[in-house]
Amino acid sequence: MADKAEEGNPIVETIKTVVYALVIAGVFRTLFFQPFWIPSGSMKDTLLIGDFLFVNKMAYGYSQYSCPFGMCPISGRLFGSEPELGDVVVFRHPVNGADFIKRVVGLPGDRVQMQGGVLYINDQAVPQRPDGQFIETYERQGALGGLPLCQDLAVGLGGDCVKDRFIETLPNGVEHSVLDARPSPLDNTGVFTVPEGHFFFVGDNRDNSTDSRVAQPNGVGFVPYENLIGRADRIMFSSAGRSLFFVWTWRGDRFFKAIN
């Protein structure tokens, strides 16, 4: 018969198991992949509200923001490599500390501008070609319950919310879709010269995105390299409902979808 002292206290064993699991999860989240839910429509139609993805933290190396609450004891960046134009990146807002997800459209030294809703990089217009329309139901979306931005200001609940869609080709050949709902003050900006060690980010849903086109603290401004958390490569799961448990709202066609 086994000695009861050797069996251990069940409560202690349970606590140890939970602690080990939390440590393993913390290491995995810090070094490899961080889960991220899409809370807003700023990256439509590349990313939809309710998309769930894992952020690849190995893509750009590690900084203090690789740890939860920015607690990594790291100065600068370890094992770093810089993002490329067109990468979809999760980063820590330089002022308010929130995690944002946007697309890189300006590297250190680049000159970035919007003219007539067209992106210019280093004084060259980034080509766009029409790609039909993006149509969604005008209704409250996701846990935050926000309403989408539409071309038709008078569309009622349950109606079709329409935006024009274009395929944009960045100077390095990366293609991705962008949406245009209607004229916006951010369709025309001054020239932004990206400082060394910083990057310029814009949302694909151009008229409904808080990004580098507006300076901090109201916008994002230039984002320091050390604030980058990781690259978004693939959607793992997607739900159009306000709860994960609303099975009938799952978007099966978006499971494991690559992010372009």
List the CATH code of the domain at 4-258: 2.10.109.10
Residue 5 has pLDDT above 50, yes or no: no
**Which of 68-82, 124-138, 141-155, 230-244 holds the top average pLDDT?**
124-138
Would the pLDDT of 103 be above 80?
A: yes
pLDDT band of residue 15 (cuts 50, 70, 90) is low
Q: What is the pLDDT of residue 242?
A: 76
pLDDT greater than 70 at residue 189: yes
Percent of the chain with pLDDT over 70: 88
Once rounded to an integer, what is the mean pLDDT over residues 90-108? 96
The pTM of this model reads 0.86
3-state SS string for 95-140: CCCCEEEEEEEECCCCEEEEECCEEEECCEECCEEEEEEEEEECCC
CA 213 to chain CA centroid, Å, is 16
In the DSSP assignment, the letter for residue 241 is: S
Averaged pLDDT for residues 218-245: 91
User: Which tokens go with 13?
Assistant: 């064993």
Least confident range of 103-112, 131-140, 245-254: 245-254
Contact 47, 208 (CB under 8 A): no
Q: Which two structure tokens, joined as six digits, stand for 212?
A: 């580098």
Cβ neighbour number for residue 57 with a 10 Å cutoff? 23
Residue, of 28 and 242, whose pLDDT is higher = 242
163 has catalytic annotation: no
Whether 124 shows a pLDDT value over 70: the answer reads yes
Q: Report the pLDDT averaged over residues 89-104.
A: 95
Distance CA(135)–CA(161), nearest Å, equals 6
Joined tokens for residue 64: 């203090």
* 83-109 mean pLDDT: 96
- CB neighbourhood size of 54 (10 A): 18
pLDDT at 18: 60
Q: Which residue bears the tokens 């309710």?
A: 50
- Residue 73 has a pLDDT of 83
**102 catalytic residue (yes or no):** yes
Q: Answer whether residue 34 shows pLDDT above 60.
A: yes
Domain map (residue ranges) of the chain: 4-258
What pLDDT is recorded for position 241?
80
Q: What is the pLDDT of residue 9?
A: 74
Confidence of residue 1 (pLDDT cuts 50, 70, 90): very low
Bridge-based pairing of strands 175-180 and 160-169 is antiparallel
**pLDDT tens per residue, range 18-30:** 664 555 545 545 5
196: exposed, middle or buried (Cβ count in 10 Å: 0-12, 13-18, 19+): exposed
From the candidates 44, 57, 102, 163, which is the catalytic residue?
102
Residue among 40, 42, 177, 209 flagged as catalytic? 42
- pLDDT for 197 equals 96
Bond from prior residue into 94 cis (ω within 30 degrees of 0): no
